[in-house]
Structure 1
Amino acid sequence: MMSLLNKCDIDYKSLQDTVLPLWLNKYIEIGIEKREDVNCYTYKNIKKFELFYPDYIGNEFSNNKVVVDVDKVGNVAKSLGISLKFAFKIAGLLVKIPQNFNIVISYDNMDFIVSFYCKRKYEEWLIDDLDSYMDEAIFVITT
Structure 2
Amino acid sequence: MFLHQEELIIKYLSKMYKEQFEMLTSTSEINWYTISINEAMRSLLNKYNIDYKSLQDTVLPLWLNKYIEVGIEKREDVNCYTYKNIKKFELFYQDYTGSEFSNNKVVVDVDKVGNVAKSLGISLKFAFKIAGLLVKIPQNFNIVISYDNMDFIVSFYCKRKYEEWLIDNLDSYMDEAIFVITT
Distance, in Å, in 2 between the alignment partners of 1:140 and 1:32 is 18
- The RMSD of aligned alpha carbons is 0.4
The structural deviation recorded for 1:49 is: 0.2
State the partner residue of 2:132: 92
The structural deviation recorded for 1:135 is: 1.1
Distance, in Å, in 1 between the alignment partners of 2:114 and 2:170 is 27
The structural deviation recorded for 1:89 is: 0.1
The structural deviation recorded for 1:5 is: 0.5
CA deviation profile, 1:86-107 (whole Å, cap 9, x unmatched) = 0000000000000000000000
CA deviation profile, 1:94-136 (whole Å, cap 9, x unmatched) = 0000000000000000000000000001100000010110111
Distance, in Å, in 2 between the alignment partners of 1:131 and 1:85 is 23
Query: Do residues 132 (structure 1) and 172 (structure 2) align?
Result: yes
> Secondary structure of the equivalent of 2:181?
strand
Distance, in Å, in 1 between the alignment partners of 2:139 and 2:123 is 23
Q: After TM superposition, which residue ranges in structure 1, 4 or more long, deviate above 4 angstroms?
A: none
Distance, in Å, in 2 between the alignment partners of 1:49 and 1:135 is 28
Which among 65, 74, 88 is matched to residue 48 of structure 1? Answer: 88
Structure of greater relative contact order (alpha carbons < 8 Å, 6+ residues apart): 2
CA deviation profile, 1:7-62 (whole Å, cap 9, x unmatched) = 01101100010000000000000000000000000000000001110000000000
Q: Which segment is superposed worse, 55-64 or 128-137?
A: 128-137
Distance, in Å, in 2 between the alignment partners of 1:49 and 1:99 is 20
Count of aligned positions: 143
Which among 87, 101, 108 is matched to residue 61 of structure 1? Answer: 101
> Secondary structure of the equivalent of 1:67?
strand
* Greater per-residue helix proportion: 2
Which among 44, 54, 57 is matched to residue 4 of structure 1? Answer: 44
> Secondary structure of the equivalent of 1:72?
helix
Identify unmatched segments of 5+ residues in structure 1. none
The structural deviation recorded for 1:3 is: 0.4
> Secondary structure of the equivalent of 1:80?
helix
CA deviation profile, 1:69-96 (whole Å, cap 9, x unmatched) = 0000000000000000000000000000
What is the percent sequence identity of the aligned residues?
94
Distance, in Å, in 1 between the alignment partners of 2:59 and 2:169 is 31
